Amino acid sequence: MAVISVSPGVIGAFGANQHLRQSFVFLNMPAMQQPEAYIGGAANLFDAEGRLNNESTRDFLSKFVQSFAAWIKANRKN
């Protein structure tokens, strides 16, 4: 499992992300630890149609998804 949190403010996504991860630990659920993804200031990253218009965020999310795919491959049970 991977967690991506998004918020309109600066640090709200960080708090939500960490709180959810604590729940995963309690429930003994495996979750990718790194990289973490919490994205603040979401209102400035998307256009009126909801499309991501920030290239650095797009690049980060692409790398995050690649890391998650590698994590799944490394942790899957045959």
Give per-residue pLDDT as tens, 31-76.
Answer: 999 999 989 898 899 888 989 999 999 999 999 999 999 999 999 8
- Which domains are present in the chain? 4-75 (3.40.50.360)
Q: How would residue 12 be classed by pLDDT, with cut points 50, 70 and 90?
A: confident
What pLDDT, on the 0 to 100 scale, is given for residue 78? 66
Q: Give the helix/strand (H/E) hosting 56.
A: helix 55-75
Measure Cα distances from 64 to 18, 27, 28, 42 in Å.
17, 24, 22, 17
What pLDDT, on the 0 to 100 scale, is given for residue 29? 92
Tokens of 38: 């919490």
How far is Cα 45 from Cα 49, in angstroms, rounded to an integer? 11
What pLDDT, on the 0 to 100 scale, is given for residue 49? 92
Q: Indicate the pTM of the whole model.
A: 0.82
